[in-house]
């Protein structure tokens, strides 16, 4: 019952693809989102994110700096396919330079959050973008 009360009306049952290579960040984000009812799919780089992308995915959380294929390249690949043009993507980055946000948005992100991640802000952004689908 306690677990059921923590679930979020908007996020419960949603599938979020988390593309992140740092296991600490994966653990931190999963410990925040899973109790809200989110089903997390984990990809360790941009290439894996492209492989795991499917019709069940409601939202993508995309780290920018990853091995093999970075998040900017992965977002461009996702946006190059018509079927994914409306899929919400939130970019996660440790960089906080003024033009980083613009680079993320140009690559296809709908929104942007810098690390260290403000958990309340992230959950709020997830709610906003999931409610639009």
Question: What gap in Å lies between CA 133 and CA 130, rounded to an integer?
Answer: 5
Q: Which domain holds residue 99?
A: 2-131
Sheet strand arrangement including 89-93: 39-43, 15-19, 59-63, 89-93, 111-114
CATH assignment at residue 6: 3.40.50.2300
pLDDT (0 to 100) of residue 63:
97
> What total of structural domains would you count in the chain?
1
pLDDT (0 to 100) of residue 3:
52
pLDDT at 9 over 70: yes
Mean pLDDT of the chain: 93
Strand partners, 89: 60
pLDDT at 1 over 50: no
Pairing of the two strands 59-63 and 89-93: parallel
**pTM for this entry:** 0.93
């Amino acid at each position: 019952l306690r677990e059921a009360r923590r679930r979020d009306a908007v996020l419960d049952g949603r599938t979020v693809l988390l593309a992140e290579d740092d296991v600490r960040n994966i653990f931190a984000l999963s410990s925040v989102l899973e109790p809200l009812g989110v089903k997390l799919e984990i990809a360790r780089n941009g290439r894996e994110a492209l492989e795991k992308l499917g019709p069940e995915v409601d939202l993508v959380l995309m780290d920018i700096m990853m091995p093999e294929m970075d998040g900017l390249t992965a977002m461009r690949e996702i946006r190059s396919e018509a079927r994914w043009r409306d899929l919400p993507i939130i970019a996660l980055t440790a960089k906080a330079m003024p033009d980083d946000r613009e680079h993320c948005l140009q690559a296809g992100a709908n929104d942007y959050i810098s690390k260290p991640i403000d958990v309340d802000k992230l959950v709020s952004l997830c709610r906003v973008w999931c409610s639009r689908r």
